[in-house]
Structure 1
Amino acid sequence: MAQDMLTDEALNTSYLIIGILAVVIVFAIAFFIIKKIGKDPKNVLPVNLAGRIRIPLLIFLISLFLKVCLFQDVFSNTELINLIKHASTIGIIISFTWFLIVFLKVFKERLLKKYDVNTDNNLKARKVYTQFTILENIVIFILIILAIGISLMSFESIREVGLSLLTSAGIAGIIVGLAAQKAIGTLLAGIQIAITQPIRLQDAVIVEGEWGWIEEITLTYVVVKVWDKRRLVVPSTYFIENTFQNWTRKSADIMGTVFLYTDYNVSFDAIRAELTRLLESSPLWDKQVNVLQVTDATEKSVQIRILVSAKDSPTAWDLRVYIREKLIDFIHQNYPQSLPRTRVELPQQDQNPSEKVSPKTEDPSARKE
Structure 2
Amino acid sequence: MNAALRLLTVLGGSILLTAAAGWIVDLLLRRADARDPGTPLWHSLRRCRPALQIVLLAALLRAAYHQTAWRPLQEHQAAVGRALSLALIGAGAWLIVGVASAVVESGYARYATGTRDPARVRRVRTQVTLIMRVVTAVVAVVAVAAMLLTFPSFRALGTSVLASAGIIGIVAGVAAQSTLGNLFAGFQIAFGDMVRIGDTVVVAGEWGVVEDITLTFLAVRTWDERRITMPVSYFTTRPFENWSRGGVQMTGTVFLHCDHAAPVDLIREKVHEILNHCREWDGRGWDVAVTETTPSTMVVRAIVTAKDADDLWTVRCAVREQLIAWLSEKHPEALPRLVLAPTPGTEPAAGDPGGRWTKPGP
CA contact (8 A) 1:213 1:226 kept: yes
- Distance between the aligned counterparts of 2:321 and 2:112, measured in 1? 35
Deviations, residues 238-275 of structure 1 (Å, cap 9, x unaligned): 21222322221221111111001111122212111221
Secondary structure at 1:326 match in 2: helix
Counting only pairs closer than 5 Å after superposition, residues 299-310 of structure 1 correspond to structure 2 as: 299-310=295-306
Cα distance change on mapping 1:345 and 1:283 into 2, 3 Å: same
> What amino acid is aligned across from residue 226 of structure 1 in structure 2?
T
Q: Residue 218 of structure 1: which of 208, 214, 233 is its match? A: 214
CA contact (8 A) 2:10 2:68 kept: no
Cα distance change on mapping 1:120 and 1:279 into 2, 3 Å: farther
Gaps of 5+ in 1: 1-5, 349-369
CA contact (8 A) 1:262 1:340 kept: yes
> What amino acid is aligned across from residue 69 of structure 1 in structure 2?
A
The residue number in structure 1 matching 2:120 is 124
Cα distance change on mapping 1:16 and 1:241 into 2, 3 Å: same
Deviates more, 1:12-21 or 1:123-132: 12-21
Q: Cα offset for 1:203?
A: 1.1
Secondary structure at 2:41 match in 1: coil
The residue number in structure 2 matching 1:365 is none
Gaps of 5+ in 2: 345-362
Deviates more, 1:74-83 or 1:234-243: 74-83
- Distance between the aligned counterparts of 2:90 and 2:257, measured in 1? 67
Q: Residue 155 of structure 1: which of 151, 154, 157 is its match? A: 151
CA contact (8 A) 1:291 1:307 kept: yes
Secondary structure at 2:283 match in 1: coil
Cα distance change on mapping 1:336 and 1:237 into 2, 3 Å: same
Cα distance change on mapping 1:264 and 1:114 into 2, 3 Å: farther
Q: Cα offset for 1:98?
A: 1.6
Cα distance change on mapping 1:315 and 1:247 into 2, 3 Å: same
Q: Residue 189 of structure 2: which of 171, 193, 197 is its match? A: 193
> What amino acid is aligned across from residue 322 of structure 1 in structure 2?
A
- Distance between the aligned counterparts of 1:239 and 1:318, measured in 2? 28
Secondary structure at 2:164 match in 1: helix
| TM-score, normalization by structure 1 | 0.83
**1:21 aligned to 2:16?**
yes
The residue number in structure 2 matching 1:64 is 59
- Distance between the aligned counterparts of 2:18 and 2:338, measured in 1? 89
- Distance between the aligned counterparts of 1:13 and 1:309, measured in 2? 75
Structure 1 or 2, whichever has the larger Rg, is 1
Secondary structure at 1:47 match in 2: helix
> What amino acid is aligned across from residue 247 of structure 1 in structure 2?
W
Deviates more, 1:313-322 or 1:137-146: 137-146
Cα distance change on mapping 1:25 and 1:131 into 2, 3 Å: closer
Deviations, residues 19-77 of structure 1 (Å, cap 9, x unaligned): 33333333344345445654662455343543x22331221021111232157575675
Q: Cα offset for 1:322?
A: 0.2
CA contact (8 A) 1:66 1:88 kept: yes
Counting only pairs closer than 5 Å after superposition, residues 173-322 of structure 1 correspond to structure 2 as: 173-322=169-318
- Distance between the aligned counterparts of 2:331 and 2:283, measured in 1? 27
CA contact (8 A) 1:215 1:223 kept: yes
- Distance between the aligned counterparts of 2:309 and 2:209, measured in 1? 10
Cα distance change on mapping 1:74 and 1:255 into 2, 3 Å: farther
Secondary structure at 2:239 match in 1: coil
Cα distance change on mapping 1:67 and 1:273 into 2, 3 Å: same
Cα distance change on mapping 1:16 and 1:108 into 2, 3 Å: closer
Cα distance change on mapping 1:344 and 1:18 into 2, 3 Å: closer
- Distance between the aligned counterparts of 1:306 and 1:198, measured in 2? 31
Cα-Cα RMSD: 2.8
Q: Residue 172 of structure 1: which of 162, 168, 172 is its match? A: 168
Q: Residue 53 of structure 1: which of 48, 54, 58 is its match? A: 48
- Distance between the aligned counterparts of 2:287 and 2:75, measured in 1? 84
> What amino acid is aligned across from residue 61 of structure 2 in structure 1?
L
The residue number in structure 2 matching 1:339 is 335
Identity of aligned residues (%): 31
Number of residue pairs the alignment of both structures matches: 341
